[in-house]
Amino acid sequence: MATPELIPPSKIEETQQALAQINADYAERYGFHDPENYLYKAPKGLNEEIVRKISEFKDEPQWMREFRLKALEHFLARPMPNWGSPLLAEVDFDDIHYFVRASERAGRSWDEVPEDVKKTFDRLGIPEAERKFLAGVGAQYESEVVYHQVREDLEKQGVLFLDMDSGLREHEDLVREYFATVIPPNDNKLAALNSAVWSGGSFVYVPPGVHVEMPLQAYFRINTENMGQFERTLIIADEDSYVHYVEGCTAPTYSSNSLHSAVVELIAKPGARIRYTTVQNWSQNVYNLVTKRAIARERATVEWVDCNLGSKLTMKYPSVYLLGEEAHGEVLSIAFAGAGQHQDAGAKIFHVAPRTTSNIFAKSISKDGGRSSYRGMLEVAKGAVEARSKVVCDALLLDERSRTDTYPTIRISEDDVNVGHEATVSKVGEDQLYYLQAHGIPEDEAAKMIVNGFIEPITKELPMEYAVEMNRLIELQMEGSVG
């Protein structure tokens, strides 16, 4: 395994200045909070009564109520994972509000959204982004989705894009067929928690052959203190269809902690392609503990583009199970870990069928004592002949107080495969600067090129117009790196 290189001292200050700007204006742009005019706010803590109440509020079918209660048993029976981050032990499940209802139902026009909530999303630029370049928008505030809309032409083609609660109400058979088949409730403690108290999230179905050319976007906002947000998303791309789903998230900055624990299940049927882009920018008092997993059938492609900027602790490892021949999986991951943050991110790919292919590109930047970890799993099952995979992890350490770790696991049970793993940690070094300068490039410009090159594989994959957060932050970094 490669050892992290440190940036030469001459460049540390300059680069730190550039990166110091990342989220420097968080409090002003996202850290605000609204007055609480809620219809219902559960008391802190989790018990059977809360779970039953959530289910009653939503008037759910009995099978879902039983599913929730069984999941609660799993959650209570399981110990907290003893791997990952020491910060995990600090999560206090008794100090969380598990359900907060801000609005009567999900409006289909912004006028139906409560005024305070609408102002928040205006301030975050969501309605403007919707008008300009999105095929559909879902906006979740606390526990539930307050606004949901999809373009009429897509609806006419049979595309379903609903909040998960409406999905269950209006398409129960479809939901029941696929819900929790990718991530069962007792997959892990946090998946069990989500399964017990899930609320909101998106339900997407794309019919065979339909290509949703513009992205569908969901925006998740926490407003209250000590909030738990547990959205549940299920995306089914039927044969030869295509969909790109983008999600963003922010929260006010409080001195006490909140918890975000989502479950996201993707199903790409033969020939389908799903791209799922996340720009995670929670405030630094949020524990972000998320389970994301996808199934790719024959010739299907699943791509996770996963950007983690915010949160106190993120533990998230988007996975793809390549179950059909010639399926392809891809994870592009970037993480920024600043003071007090631990980004424990990564990817998992399982090659189950012949001639499946995958790529994992993970990048991390740690600064001001922040910690980033890459945790990966690459598995090639017996029979997955001619599987090909490439894993590249790059970490950039900006000072001696910061830390980066790489925990790659590779399990190969088949001989006829081609697997490459490069744990090439930081590539910013004096030799690179010297090389570029020797070709007539000024030092400042050389530093910019190196930083740009470091993050470029990810930034080039983001939608150019994406209104919320990541591009702006990356641009700040690039501007700063000019010096």
Q: Does position 186 bind other proteins by CB under 8 A?
A: yes
Q: Does position 187 bind other proteins by CB under 8 A?
A: yes
* Nearest CB to other proteins, comparing residues 118 and 189: 189
Report residue 3: phi and psi, to 5°.
-95, 135
* Nearest CB to other proteins, comparing residues 74 and 148: 74
Q: 117 to 156, contacts with other proteins by CB under 8 A?
A: none
Q: Distances in Å between the alpha carbon of 483 and those of 29, 146, 327, 388, 454?
A: 25, 43, 44, 41, 17
Tell me the CB-side half-sphere exposure of residue 443, using CA atoms within 13 A.
Answer: 10
Closest separation in Å from C-beta 82 to other proteins: 16
Q: Of the candidates 317, 350, 374, 454, which one interacts with other proteins according to CB under 8 A? A: 350
* Nearest CB to other proteins, comparing residues 185 and 248: 185
Closest separation in Å from C-beta 27 to other proteins: 40
Torsion (CA) 467, 473, 479, 483 in degrees, nearest 10: 170
* Nearest CB to other proteins, comparing residues 175 and 462: 175
Closest separation in Å from C-beta 187 to other proteins: 5
Query: Tokens at residue 339, please?
Result: 């003071």
Total residues at interface with other proteins (CB under 8 A): 17
Asked if 395 and 1 touch (Cβ cutoff 8 Å), the reply is no
Asked if 326 and 299 touch (Cβ cutoff 8 Å), the reply is yes
Choices 166-174, 179-187, 236-244, 277-285; region in contact with other proteins by CB under 8 A: 179-187
Torsion (CA) 295, 298, 300, 306 in degrees, nearest 10: 30
* Nearest CB to other proteins, comparing residues 95 and 187: 187
What residue has token string 């065979």? Answer: 208
* Nearest CB to other proteins, comparing residues 352 and 397: 352
Separation of CA 90 from chain center:
22
Choices 94-102, 177-185, 226-234, 328-336; region in contact with other proteins by CB under 8 A: 177-185
Q: Of the candidates 43, 158, 184, 442, which one interacts with other proteins according to CB under 8 A? A: 184
Choices 28-36, 134-142, 183-191, 428-436; region in contact with other proteins by CB under 8 A: 183-191
Report residue 8: phi and psi, to 5°.
-60, 145
Choices 163-171, 175-183, 298-306, 464-472; region in contact with other proteins by CB under 8 A: 175-183
Distance CA(322)–CA(302), nearest Å, equals 9
Distance CA(56)–CA(49), nearest Å, equals 10
Distance CA(349)–CA(298), nearest Å, equals 15
Q: Which is it for strands 160-163 and 144-150: parallel, antiparallel or unpaired?
A: unpaired
Helix (H, G, I), strand (E, B) or coil at 90: helix
* Nearest CB to other proteins, comparing residues 73 and 225: 73
Q: Does position 63 bind other proteins by CB under 8 A?
A: no
Q: Of the candidates 55, 103, 140, 188, which one interacts with other proteins according to CB under 8 A? A: 188
Contacts of 271 (CB under 8 A, 6+ apart): 239, 240, 298, 299, 300
Phi-psi category of residue 184: left, alpha or beta, with phi > 0 → left and psi -120 to 50 → alpha: beta
Q: Does position 378 bind other proteins by CB under 8 A?
A: no
What residue has token string 């600064």? Answer: 367
Binding mask 322-341 for other proteins (x = CB under 8 A): -x------------------
Q: Of the candidates 260, 293, 328, 367, which one interacts with other proteins according to CB under 8 A? A: 293
Q: 13 to 42, contacts with other proteins by CB under 8 A?
A: none
Residues β-bridged to residue 273:
242, 301
Choices 184-192, 205-213, 239-247, 354-362; region in contact with other proteins by CB under 8 A: 184-192
Q: Does position 381 bind other proteins by CB under 8 A?
A: yes
* Nearest CB to other proteins, comparing residues 183 and 262: 183
Closest separation in Å from C-beta 197 to other proteins: 17
Contacts of 401 (CB under 8 A, 6+ apart): 368, 369
Chain residues binding other proteins by CB under 8 A are 74, 180-188, 293, 295, 321, 323, 350, 352, 381
